[in-house]
Each structure stands twice: as C-alpha cells, then as structure tokens.
Chain A
Amino acid sequence: MSAAGTMASRGFWLRTRAMLIKEFIQLKRDRMSFGMIIMIP
C-alpha cells in the first residue's frame, strides 16, 4: 500500500474510533436507556 493509502486508512480508523468513543460516552451518560437495555429482555 502506498503512503497516501496508509494515511487514508489510518484516518478512517481514527475517525471511526472517535465516533465510537462519542457514542459510548453518550450511552454511558444516558442511564435510563442503559437500564432499559438490560430490562427489556
């Protein structure tokens, strides 16, 4: 893979990781929804 390709791939994973962390933080803050996840089943 070329240097540009490696950079693009690294950027993709970094940005996706950032989105994941953001979603996990939102999920952690929303205690009610988190409780429902366990209680619904």
Chain B
Amino acid sequence: MQLILFGYAINTTPRDLPTAVLLQETSDVGRSILAALQNTRYFKVTHIAHNAVEFDRLLASGTVLFAVEIPANFERALRRGDRPALLIAADATDPVAAGSALGALGTIVTTALRNDHAIPDTTAPPFEVRAHARYNPAASTALNIVPGLVGTILTMTMLIFTALSVTREIERGTMESLLSMPITPVEIMLGKIVPYVIVGFVQAALIIGVGVLLFRVPILGNLALLALLSTLFITTNLSIGYTFSTIAQNQLQAMQMSMMFFLPNILLSGFMFPFAGMPNWAQWVGEALPLTHFIRIVRAIMLKGSTIEDLRYDALILGILMLIAMAIAVTRFRRTLD
C-alpha cells in the first residue's frame, strides 16, 4: 500500500504551483503572459491580485507560492526596447519548489510573447525577469530543513512514547493493578500524555535552540506563539500514539502502527518533497496528517514572522486531529485484559 501511495504521490519536479498575478496594466502583452502562465505545467494561476497589499498578503499567508507582477506601462516599455522588468516574488521557504519554476519563467514568457508576435524573434529577451526569493533570499537549505526537522523528530519520538504506554503495561503485568483501581480511561490517558508533553517541549526547545545557534535559522515571529502551537502539535501526536496503544495487542504491533503513520508524515507533509507538487489526492491525504500543518506553522513563524491570523487554519486542524485521536483512544480503551 505504501509503495503504491508514495510511488504515485511523490514528484521531485513540482507542477501546478499556486500563483497570484498582479496586472498593473490591461494590455495584450499582459494577457499573453497571463495565458502563458495558465498554460504551463509549472504555475497554476489561482488568484488575481488587485493591489500590492493583496499581492504581499497572498504570499505571506502561504496561499500562493509565487506572485507575478506585470508593472504599469510594461507593454509600452517593451515596444520601445527599454527592457522593462517582470517581477516575480517567490516563497523561498521551500527552495526546491521555487527553484525550477523560477528558472523556467523567463523562457515561458519569452516563448509566449514571440508566438503572439508581441516581441521580435531575437535571441535576447527584450525584458528582464526580476526574481525576489522572499523569506529565504540565499535559498539556504538549512532554513528549510531545520524547522521541518523540529516536527519530524517530535513526530517520531512522541508517537513511540505513547504508542508503547498501554501495551507496555499489559506486557509487564502492571495493567491488571491499574484496571483494578477506580480510575477512568480519560484520567489514565491524561496521566500518560501530560509527562510527555513536557518531554516533547524540552526536545522542541533543544532542536530550535541548536538550529538558531548552529545553523543561524532566524525566529522572526512570536516565540510564545511557536511554543503554544508546538505544545498543541506534541499533544496531537501523543494522542495518536496513545490511540495506537489502545488498539495494538503488544509492543511490536504498536511500533509497526507508529511506523505506518510516521512514513506518510515524512513523505507527504512537504518536509522532503514540495507539498504543492503532489497530485490532489495526495494533498488531501497530506492535509489529514499533523506534520503537514506543523511544518507550515513552524516555517511560517520562524521564517515569515506569521501571526495566529495567518495560521488559524493549521492550528484548527491540529486541534481537531487531537480531539478525534483522544475520542478514539477513550472509546477503544479496554477495561479488561481479555
């Protein structure tokens, strides 16, 4: 199942990357460029921005990965041979997704304008593509990987901690005494989860601290917001791990379930491969994974300085996933050893 899932889902050459266009003039050339972007497999024009504020907001909120601006008087400057600039701003928090599309833009636009006879068939394009790699101007891989690693390591460790918690009690023979006590499944679950929330918090602080000191990863956003949403993510993973523990019969089964869940988290969350480059069905699977949302949150807070307004969707999904996992765990918890 995993072979088929990942074989079809993973795509190292991202396509259909969400793009916004800001047309500062209404002209044939502008329409040619817009049509060229819409026809290409690299970009998918999802938004038409109406002003510079909207242009910036779409990029900052992560709604689009690219924003192309055709400036005012572009056509006139082009026909006069003034070599006007076509502006493209890319969300470079994921340099892999941004790189190939940025490289292709100049060729795409030049070919489209030549085909529409808007520019002469000369060797050098009569305009300049001015690319702004926002949030990671040097396209440093460390700025992309380190925030992602916070989520990946937390997923791995938190899942395993609680996935083994109930099955370990059964295998050690201590579950019998726990069940004989007047304690409810909710109380057992909270008692199992809360200590590891503290452990997870220490781990997150360690990874972020080392990332900042060693790899010079900035934290542009609010540290308290990062801590709060990290705690939500840690609790979500602990709840999912605990759910596995209530379903599994022994520690080996619990470990296998954790691995079955961990692998899609790594491959379909946007940590290793660009999320926007995956097919739609794989993106839907990815949306159901906590790591997808946490990677967006941690990259946005650290690299973009995003606020809770920008991140409310991802925070809400994390909260919903946590509640679903807790509800399943409490329902599945067996009051007997049979």
Which A positions have Cβ atoms within 8 angstroms of B? 12, 15-16, 18-20, 22-24, 27, 37-38, 40-41
Contacts and interface: CB of A to CB of B under 8 A. Distances in A.
- Interface residues of B: mostly helix, strand, loop or mixed? helix
B250 interface: no
A12 B187 contact: yes
B191 A23 contact: yes
A22 B203 CA distance: 22
Given A20-B191, A23-B191, A40-B157, A15 B182 contact: yes
Interface stretch (B192-200, B219-227, B287-295): B192-200
Contacts of A19: 183, 187-188, 190-192
Given A15-B187, A37-B203, A20 B157 contact: no
Contacts of A15: 181-184, 187
B26 to A, nearest CB: 54
A25 B184 CA distance: 20
Contact of A41 (B181, B191, B192, B203): B203
Contacts of B188: 19
B206 interface: yes
Contact of A40 (B190, B192, B203): B203
Nearest to B191: A19
B142 interface: no
Interface centre among A18, A20, A37, A41 (most CB of B within 10 A): A41
B202 interface: yes
B78 interface: no
Nearest to A24: B195
